[in-house]
Structure formats: C-alpha cells, structure tokens
C-alpha cells in the first residue's frame, strides 16, 4: 500500500467525511456532530487513506445506530498524538466479539442480516492506521453504543536542515536498519519505528542490507529471511562473523518459523509475521533500543 503524505487541516477532513453521511443519517433522524480541540490544527499524513478510515467508521456508526440516535466525531491532541474517535448511541458490540470484529469478514455481532462487509472494512481501516504509525481501539457497551478510535502521530514534515523522527532530531534518535523486500511490511515497520522516535534505514535485499549495517552501525537490525540475492540466514552469519558488527542486536522478523536456528546463529530475538507494534517495539526495547511511547496499546482498550 503506497502512502502519499501531505499537510492538511484535520477539521476540514472530518467535516468532509461527515457531510457525505449526513443525508443518510437524516433519513433516520440521526445527528452527526463534530468536535475538534483548539490545539488540533494541521496534520502531516495521507489524506486519502484517512478519509477512507473515517468514512468506514462513520458509515458503521450510522448503520448500527437506531432512529433518533447520534454520532459524534471528535479529535483531540494527546501529547505526541492526535486521537480521533467516532462515538455512536447504537447497539454496541458483545464482549465475546470485541477482538474478532477487527478480523476479516467478521461482523462482531452487530447485525449481519443488516449489512455485509463491516468486518473487512474494519480490518482495512486498522491496517491503514497502523501503516500511518497509529493504533485503533474499540470501547463499547451493549445497547448503549460504541466508540471506535484511532491515533495519529503528531509529526511534522521533514525539513531540509534537520529531519525529525517522531518529533526528535534524527541525530538524537536511535537507528534501526530494516532489511526487508516486502513493501507493505517495510511500510508497516517503518511506521511503527518512526512513531517510536527511531530512525529507519531500509534495505531491499541481503547484500545492500549488509552494506547498510556496516556503514551505519545501527542500534539494531530487523531482518527478514526470505530475501532476494543472499537470504537472511547468510546475512545473519555474516553480521555475527565480523568483529565490527557482531555486537549489533539482530531481530529476525519473518514468516519462516525457525526460532531455534535463528537463535543458534546469533539472533537476539525472533518474531514470526504478522507482528504488531507492541511486539516489535518490545523486542527492540529488550535488546537495548530506546523506544519512546512503548506500552501504549494497539488494540481494544
């Protein structure tokens, strides 16, 4: 999934998304309100992808709210993040369904006979939010309503003189070399790391990854196994064989589940895809990489 970043006023995007659903909501006497904190102005993100997420959440809120109910879209600044929530007065989600509602094709007990595709929309929405460096959650009470929320890093556009990583100068941020040829995985990991104030140096194959590690001497390496050219196993052996790179922690992140082999070759940690934000940052923190904002949850709360 390609991301196109730009600077825009978040209030305008919220108003635009809500206006597209107001006519539908009015047919059922449902009011859609917008509240934006005074300190929430411009954001630097992918405007098109955010509109997709907002439309999905507001559509679902209207869909599962009874006649005469209400939907409130709210944005507030919370330290290094902007939090956006969509709250409805609808039917809520049963406790047993609150995790699986984010899984593909799951309705979470919100009335499968009424609409199709809700679960898939939430799956894609959470994926987009994670790619943008945020997290998505659900707060709900049966017969009282639901709040679906997501966060955005309150980051600024890179300047020509000093690149900022999660609000921290790149010179002050920890560095991680990510050796990964799968573009969606690279985008996701980069979003996780930049959101934790880490500088990302990416390499699309084993040879360029080795060269990057030798050149940068990063705080850690994220290493895929299935790589073009020399594979991850060869990269890991080479890194641990060289005196100048052997002490750099290597965290393997791959669909290949061979933990014992990875540890035997010197990997400091071994994660099997798919990998969530907290799992990835937790593994890096465990090997001594300073990860800001660690401990914030990524799922329901």
Tokens representing residue 57 in the block:
């959440």
Residues 57 and 174 in one domain: no
Number of domains in the chain: 2
Contact 50, 73 (CB under 8 A): no
Q: Are 281 and 216 found together in one domain?
A: yes
CA 2 to chain centre: 14
Look at 124-128, 160-164, 248-252 and tell me which has the smallest mean pLDDT.
160-164
Asked if 148 and 188 sit in the same domain, the reply is no
Query: Where residue 46 sits, what CATH number does that domain have?
Result: 3.30.565.10
- Assess whether pLDDT exceeds 50 at residue 294: no
- With respect to residue 1, please indicate whether it lies within any of the assigned structural domains: no
Sheet of 198-203: strand order equals: 198-203, 174-179, 220-223, 250-254, 269-272
Together in a domain, 147 and 238? no
Say which range, 47-51, 83-87, 144-148, 194-198, has the weakest mean pLDDT. Answer: 194-198
pLDDT score of 155? 62
pLDDT of 250 over the 70 cut? yes
Write out pLDDT tens, residues 124-154.
888 888 888 899 999 988 888 999 999 998 7
CATH number at residue 240: 3.40.50.2300
Kindly state whether residues 65 and 124 are assigned to the same domain: yes
Closest alpha carbon to 170 in 140, 194, 145, 146: 194
Q: Are residues 179 and 236 in the same domain?
A: yes
Report strand pairing: 81-88 vs 70-78: antiparallel
- Model confidence over 265-286: pLDDT tens digits? 999 999 999 998 889 999 999 9
Last residue of a domain, one of 153, 183, 203: 153
Give the end of a domain, one of 119, 153, 187. Answer: 153
Q: pLDDT band at residue 300, thresholds of 50, 70 and 90?
A: very low
In tens, the pLDDT along 221-240 reads: 999 999 998 999 999 999 99
Give the range of the structural domain holding residue 101, as residue numbers without chain letter.
6-153
Least confident among 62-76, 89-103, 201-215: 89-103
Euclidean distance between CA atoms 272 and 124, whole angstroms: 21
Instruction: Let me know whether 132 and 192 are in one domain.
Output: no
Same domain membership, residue 103 and residue 48? yes
Tens digits of residue pLDDT in 85-131: 999 998 888 777 777 777 643 444 444 333 333 344 788 888 888 88
User: Coil, strand, or helix at residue 186?
Assistant: helix
* pLDDT of 260 over the 70 cut: yes
Alpha helices in the chain (DSSP H): 10-26, 47-63, 118-131, 183-195, 206-216, 232-241, 259-264, 277-286
Same domain, 174 and 128: no
Radius of gyration from C-alpha coordinates of the chain: 21
Nearest-angstrom CA–CA distance, 228 and 30: 54
Domain shared by 276 and 145, yes or no:
no
Report yes or no on 298 lying in a domain.
Answer: no
């Amino acid at each position: 999934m390609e991301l196109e970043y730009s600077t825009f006023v978040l209030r305008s995007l919220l108003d635009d998304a809500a206006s597209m659903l107001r006519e539908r909501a009015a047919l059922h006497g449902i009011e859609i309100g917008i509240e934006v904190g005074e300190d929430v102005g411009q954001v630097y993100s992918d405007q098109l992808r955010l509109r997709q997420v907002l439309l999905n959440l507001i559509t679902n809120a209207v869909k599962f709210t009874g006649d005469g109910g209400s939907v409130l879209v709210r944005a507030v600044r919370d330290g290094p993040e902007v939090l956006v929530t969509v709250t409805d007065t609808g039917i809520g989600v049963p406790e047993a369904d609150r995790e699986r509602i984010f899984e593909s094709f799951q309705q979470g007990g919100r009335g499968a006979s009424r609409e199709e595709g809700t679960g898939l929309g939430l799956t894609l929405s959470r994926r987009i939010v994670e790619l943008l460096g945020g997290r998505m959650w659900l707060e709900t009470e049966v017969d009282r309503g639901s709040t679906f929320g997501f966060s955005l890093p309150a980051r600024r556009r890179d300047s020509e003189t000093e690149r900022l990583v999660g609000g921290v100068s790149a010179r002050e941020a920890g560095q991680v070399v990510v050796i990964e040829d799968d573009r969606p995985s690279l985008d996701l990991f980069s979003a996780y790391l930049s959101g934790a104030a880490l500088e990302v140096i990416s390499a699309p194959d084993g040879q360029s990854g080795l060269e990057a590690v030798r050149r940068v001497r990063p705080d850690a390496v994220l290493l895929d196994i299935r790589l073009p050219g020399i594979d991850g196993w060869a990269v890991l052996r080479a890194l641990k064989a060289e005196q100048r790179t052997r002490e750099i922690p290597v965290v393997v992140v791959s669909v290949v589940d061979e933990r014992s082999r990875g540890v035997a070759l010197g990997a400091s940690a071994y994660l099997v895809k798919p990998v969530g934000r907290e799992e990835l940052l937790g593994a890096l923190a465990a090997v001594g990489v300073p990860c800001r904002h660690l401990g914030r949850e990524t799922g329901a709360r």
